[in-house]
Amino acid sequence: MKRILKTNALPYCKGCGHDLIAKNTARALENLELDPLDVVIVTDIGCHGIIDGCLNTHTVHGLHGRSAALGAGISMGLDNQGKKIVVFIGDGGSTIGLQHILEAARLNLDMTVVVHNNMLYGMTGGQTSGLTPCGFKTSTSASGNPWSGYDLCALTHTAGASFASRVAGIGDISGSLQEAFDIKGFSLIEVMEICPSYGTRFNPKRKLREIIESSGKLPGIWKNDRMPFSARGETKCASLFDELRPVTPDFSSRLDKPFSLVISGSAGEGVQLAANLLSAAVVRSGCQVTQKGSYPVTVGVGFSTAELVISPQPIRYHGIDVPDIVVVTSEDGLAHCKRRIERMEKGMVFIDSSLESPRTGARLNRHDFRSIGARTACLYALLRFSADTGMIAADALFQTVEESGIREKIPLEKIRELIAGN
């Protein structure tokens, strides 16, 4: 049987309990005779999360505190009892995403959460977390944490989990992990450990067992006799994928190498929509495309930027450092991508004529894109880019817009006249 871990040389500090948890998790899963491809391990932000590249299982890496939510979604979406979902999360992530854990426990989803509780934020400097015991010293509680941490097992048990347990991260804990993994329904196992970089430095001479005892959060097992979650056929809507129309390559392209395109304007002026339409036109031209959107957290104000990588071959990496082409239609857009434009030594910049010309080695193409309305400026600019460069067939983009649901809102004939008249 193939091993869960690719290597025993794990990327943790010497003496870190995360190493023990990873190796005992692998041993427990192998004892259950689970093939690595029957296991999905979801990791969180934190030191434990760097295990991903050492696993032969399926892996998903989430945002801080969100690994339990991702695991819950996978559990709900899987219709295969032979698969096992294991969520790795730290003490910091478990309190940031506490509601996700409690909801998964309340629904009794079929998954296991392994909490790496080293009692502080190990990746960011040893700060106090929501599970730091009273009296435990951290970088933000030099005299000892004045408050008691959450009892995560009690909360999970009360929420309705089939199984919750707390163990000391010492020696062989594979049997405890195996018991949690073997449960049908939601299980959580909290592994207590000490961070060798911060925990031992701030709490010299204190032993793990003594810290656990003084915290009042003793090892134990708590069970609820419940059936695991079942959707019961109560699907509220069809799959959203069923609503997507396939894109058929019905145009040709002369593109012979990849190029990167940055489109930047103001929020609410159709930047992302225009990028979507161009991406569809790219696919219709038989090419590959990746698209990434960027805008402030406060929606509707400030800049809106879309990044596209367009290629006749499969795209292995999306990242754009210095773009080949930039399209700018507003002051917000120019402010957001000005530094990128200044670093361009070649390529082209399509920029609205109302804007100041940035310093750049790229060739500037100035047009009054906003003359037909702010909400149409970006689409006009992309149609102009397509017609002027031929890198993507203008007919493909015009046809895509014609067939979109916004055709009646776009003055396409006026745009054709402007482009034809240069």
How open is the CA angle 203-206-210, to the nearest 5 degrees? 130
Looking at the structure, do residues 194 and 266 belong to the same domain, yes or no?
no
pTM (global) more than 0.85: no
Query: For the chain, give me the number of helices (H) and strands (E)?
Result: 13, 13
pLDDT digits (tens, 9 = 90+) for 68-120: 999 999 999 887 778 999 999 999 999 999 999 999 999 999 999 999 999 99
pLDDT bin (cut points 50, 70, 90) of residue 164 is very high
Q: 71 near 111, Cβ under 8 Å?
A: yes
The confidence score (pLDDT) of residue 195 equals: 95
216 and 249 assigned to the same domain = no
Amino acid at 329: T
Specify the number of domains making up the chain: 2
Cβ neighbours of residue 263 closer than 8 Å, sequence gap 6 or more:
271, 274, 275, 278, 305, 306, 307, 308, 326, 327, 378, 381, 382
Chosen domain end from 189, 223, 257: 223
Query: Which residues constitute the domain of residue 272?
Result: 245-420
pLDDT one-digit tens code per residue, 180-214: 999 999 999 999 999 999 999 999 999 999 999 99
Average pLDDT over residues 143-149: 95
Eight-state DSSP code of residue 81? T
pLDDT tens track for 34-66 = 999 999 999 999 999 999 999 999 999 988 999
> How confident is the model over 229-282, as pLDDT tens digits?
987 665 566 777 787 778 888 898 889 999 999 999 999 999 999 999 999 999
Of 381, 350, 412, 396, the residue nearest 255 (C-alpha): 396
Strand ranges in 356-411 using DSSP code E only, listed in sequence order: 363-367
What confidence tens digit (pLDDT) does each residue in 377-410 have? 999 999 999 999 999 988 999 999 999 888 788 8
| pLDDT cut 70: percent of the chain above it | 97
3-state secondary structure of 163: strand
Residue 83 in any domain: the answer is yes
Question: Is the residue at 237 inside a domain?
Answer: no
Do 107 and 165 belong together in one domain?
yes
What average pLDDT does the segment 164-183 reach?
96
Tell me the C-alpha distance between 90 and 92, whole Å.
5
Residue 405: Cβ-neighbour burial (10 angstroms; 0-12, 13-18, 19+): exposed
Residue 12 lies in a domain: no
* Least confident interval from 131-145, 226-240, 303-317: 226-240
Please tell me the distance from the alpha carbon of residue 326 to that of residue 331, in angstroms, as a whole number.
14
| Whole-number pLDDT of residue 411 | 87
> How far is 86 from 159, CA to CA, in rounded Å?
19
Mean of the pLDDT values across residues 19-25?
96
CATH code of the domain containing 203? 3.40.50.970
- Flag whether 2 is in a domain: no
Dump pLDDT digits (tens) for 333-391.
Answer: 999 999 999 999 999 999 999 999 999 999 999 999 999 999 999 999 999 999 999 99
Does residue 67 fall inside a structural domain? Answer: yes
The whole-number pLDDT of residue 284 equals: 94
Residues 312 and 198 in one domain: no
**239 part of a folded domain:** no
